[in-house]
Structure 1
Amino acid sequence: MKNIAVIFAGGSGTRMKTTSRPKQFLELHGKPVIIYTLELFDNHPGIDAICVVCIEPWIPFLKKQLRKFEINKVVDIVPGGNTGQDSIYNGLIAAKRYADTQNDSDAYVLIHDGVRPLITEQTISDNIEIVHSKGNCITCIPATETFVVVQPDSSLQIPSRKDSLIARAPQSFQLSDILDKHECARAEGRHDFIDSCTLMSHYGCKLHTVIGPMENIKITTPSDFFIFRAMVEVHENQQIFGY
């Protein structure tokens, strides 16, 4: 049973307001954000292979960065689709091709955003453990603020904070299971599911969770990048000064 990371880096990052390059290729200390992310999966002993979904014009640049930073587990890079759902589907098809070469019909996938570079080795390990035992695993954090759900009649529903979680990534599944649900969505002309757990829930799957680190943010805005920079510097100081 292979564990395949599907890293989604197909977005253009309009909210980052950068003009020179997409957010996943912004550099900190000379290293692109996506390389920080890929290193975590490349160095994890439980990950067998990585498939990356990338903005097509940036694929040659990504390949150069993989060589530069010695990322060795990437087995395929495929272009993104018209929507996030389509891009993830492209990545899952790439994962299926790899699994087929390994004669592995029981492969698992860990779907992760290329712009979530602050996950931990433990988060990846927890996903592998839960997805193997329960069939899926959604990385979440506790809700720390009250949120409001607007009902169809415009009334407001306020869920209990203590019973609420916020879904993040990785989101992990048996490859054959999530591919089947993607095919169902495509057959129905649906291409607008916001993420994998939303798609799986829509088709009746019972989902399981693991709590991940609060700093596992998605770098979407300039302020997110500043948080990422601060967290990297904290980790560097811990290594140098031991605190």
Structure 2
Amino acid sequence: MNIAVIFAGGSGLRMHTKSRPKQFLELNGKPIIIYTLELFDNHPEIDGIVVACIESWIPFLEKMIRKFEISKVVKIVPGGNSGQDSIYHGLCAAEEFAGGRDANVLIHDGVRPLITEETITDNIRKVEECGSCITCIPATETFIVKQEDNSLEIPERDNSLIARAPQSFRLKDILSSHRKAIEEGRHNFIDSCTMMSHYGYKLGTIIGPMENIKITTPTDFFVFRAMVTVHENQQIFGFR
């Protein structure tokens, strides 16, 4: 069983939107989160989708899911006080949906709508192979890591990857890590791969598309709009 957990609990402060959170901004009359949900809804190996959403926006999301005929959403849960807490709420709902069956979970940002069917498939295969999968892209610029003594470490670019999403795991493993973090009072892990690495899990990786950006700023939205236009043009002229 493969379950997608989509978290859409952010308020979008860097997008400078006042009327609605960034995940509900529309392009061509469709909210960003619906573009994201459609990718998982249309994938033949995804059995169910859980969404963690800002509580006050849940009725609107339910309306959009009906409007755009998203059929695999099995639960919408309120987000938490942090991204980590929102993901945990979604994972608990995924556990309930799995009903004791073994399951893989693909954790993804609601504002990351430019992944592909192939990326989702590669995540599933990698989790089946080694228990985890972090979608990455190659580093195209030099990283500088500042040490505690203020010295600088510069990793080799050829050995560096940038983590994106989905980040996928066996459901029982990622839930175990979240519950350890809760016991320790930790709610500040920046993402799931950081948490899993902290608790000793080895992480598998795949290379995803470069355009798999997180729509966080107005510039990101303009890139998203351009990519949607490119995809539409490719369909019109028979390239896809």
TM-score (norm 2): 0.99
Deviation for aligned residue 1:96 = 0.4
Residue among 218, 225, 228 paired with 1:222:
218
Report what 2:193 is aligned to: 197
Deviation for aligned residue 1:241 = 1.7
Aligned positions of 1:22-171 closer than 5 A = 22-100=21-99, 103-104=100-101, 106-171=102-167
- Report the identity percentage: 75
Residues 62-109 of structure 1 show CA distances to partners (whole Å, capped at 9, x for unaligned) of: 000000000000000001001110010000001001011xx41x1110
Where does structure 1 lack aligned partners over 5 or more consecutive residues?
none
Moved over 6 A (4+): none
TM-score (norm 1): 0.97
In 1, distance between residues paired with 2:197 and 2:5? 20
Report what 1:187 is aligned to: 183
Residue among 206, 212, 228 paired with 1:232:
228
Report what 2:17 is aligned to: 18
1:60 maps to amino acid: P
Establish whether residue 242 from structure 1 lines up as the match of residue 238 from structure 2. Answer: yes
Residue among 164, 170, 173 paired with 2:169:
173
Deviation for aligned residue 1:242 = 2.7
Establish whether residue 212 from structure 1 lines up as the match of residue 208 from structure 2. Answer: yes
In 2, distance between residues paired with 1:150 and 1:170? 28
Where does structure 2 lack aligned partners over 5 or more consecutive residues?
none
Name the Cα RMSD after superposition: 0.6
Deviation for aligned residue 1:147 = 1.2
Any idea what SS the aligned residue of 1:125 has?
A: helix
Residues 140-181 of structure 1 show CA distances to partners (whole Å, capped at 9, x for unaligned) of: 000000011110011111110000000000000000000000
In 1, distance between residues paired with 2:12 and 2:70? 24
Alignment length (residue pairs) = 239
1:44 maps to amino acid: H
1:215 maps to amino acid: E
2:137 maps to amino acid: I
Any idea what SS the aligned residue of 2:215 has?
A: coil
